């Protein structure tokens, strides 16, 4: 079951940045505590990025300067976020997440208007605000993987004037480093359920490999609307679970 969930979630990650919106609730339903489920999901997500990188060479062409710089930022932020998770009480974790997911989804849906207010940038890695934003989202990714991709795509779209499919590819590859560094910390402190992580990771890899091909055939507006709407629905679901 987890392999199948991983394939679906991996495709969702590379197409509309919603991998954890599929996999995280399944891990909770299997009885894993929230923090263990998050750590397990983060370890598995590394393999989505690996599969996506193998299938996104077309979209990454001309973006390798950004890839290197944003990957380094993601690695540092992932370490910070994972460390914060391990010292955070479950209550704080539960109450903060629905707000983060809701804000990210709204930001993603507002992306076209945000683009209109900034000068197009197709050559450089982006202004300092881009690096600050990606560092913040990488900390969040290390802290809580679910909907981290939606936040990352929203920030990238506000700062970089590129098609959605290219932003998704950039996010998928650079997020490997945030999830990877966070995974190292989670494994060191024994907060990973490997019996769930291994089959989920296998599915993530396959889904990440397939997803870029599907994303190429979808319109940018459809991709954005799907990711933003699903994110809002997920924030409502988390809010009802944690606040009520």
Predicted pLDDT of residue 117: 55
Tell me the C-alpha distance between 85 and 182, whole Å.
10
pLDDT in tens, 50-72: 888 888 878 888 888 888 999 99
Joined together, the tokens standing for residue 95 give 């109450």
Q: How many residues are given for the chain?
A: 244
Predicted pLDDT of residue 177: 93
Find the domain containing 152 and state its range: 2-243
Predicted pLDDT of residue 78: 93
Residue, of 208 and 112, whose pLDDT is higher = 208
pLDDT at 35 over 60: yes
Judge contact between 32 and 200, C-beta under 8 A.
Answer: no
Predicted pLDDT of residue 219: 72
pLDDT in tens, 211-233: 888 877 777 677 778 777 877 88
Residue, of 117 and 82, whose pLDDT is higher = 82
Q: Which of 118-122, 126-130, 145-149, 155-159 has the lowest mean pLDDT?
A: 118-122
Mean pLDDT for the chain overall? 82
Provide mean pLDDT across the span 116-126.
49
pLDDT in tens, 134-188: 999 899 888 876 667 777 877 887 778 788 778 888 888 898 899 999 999 999 9
Tell me the C-alpha distance between 212 and 95, whole Å.
33
DSSP string across 70-97: HHHHHHHHHHHHHHHHHHS-HHHHHHHH
**Among the listed residues 244, 69, 99, 80, the one whose alpha carbon sits nearest the alpha carbon of residue 174:** 69
pLDDT in tens, 5-32: 999 888 877 776 677 777 888 898 899 9
Q: Cα separations (Å) of 125 from 62, 65, 74, 85?
A: 11, 7, 14, 29
Tell me the C-alpha distance between 166 and 215, whole Å.
10
Q: Total domain count for the chain? A: 1
Q: Which of 27-31, 40-44, 163-167, 198-202 has the lowest mean pLDDT?
A: 163-167
């Amino acid at each position: 079951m987890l392999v199948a969930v991983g394939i679906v979630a991996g495709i969702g990650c590379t197409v509309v940045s919603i991998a954890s919106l599929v996999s995280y609730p399944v891990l909770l339903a299997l009885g894993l505590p929230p923090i263990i489920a998050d750590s397990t999901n983060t370890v598995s997500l590394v393999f989505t990025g690996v599969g996506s990188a193998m299938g996104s060479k077309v979209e990454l062409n001309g973006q390798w300067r950004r890839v290197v710089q944003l990957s380094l930022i993601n690695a540092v932020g992932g370490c910070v976020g994972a460390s914060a998770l391990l010292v955070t009480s479950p209550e704080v974790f539960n109450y903060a997440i629905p707000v983060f997911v809701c804000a990210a989804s709204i930001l993603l849906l507002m992306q076209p208007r945000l683009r209109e207010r900034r000068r197009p940038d197709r050559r450089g890695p982006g202004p300092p605000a881009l690096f600050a934003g990606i560092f913040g989202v990488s900390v969040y990714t290390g802290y809580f993987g679910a909907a981290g991709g939606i936040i990352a795509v929203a920030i990238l779209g506000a700062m970089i004037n590129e098609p959605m499919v290219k932003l998704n590819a950039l996010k998928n590859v650079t997020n490997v480093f945030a999830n990877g560094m966070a995974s190292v910390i989670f494994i060191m402190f024994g907060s990973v359920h490997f019996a769930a992580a291994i089959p989920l990771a296998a599915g993530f890899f396959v889904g990440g490999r397939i997803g870029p091909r599907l994303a190429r055939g979808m319109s940018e507006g459809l991709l954005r609307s799907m990711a933003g709407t699903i994110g809002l629905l997920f924030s409502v679901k988390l809010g009802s679970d944690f606040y009520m």
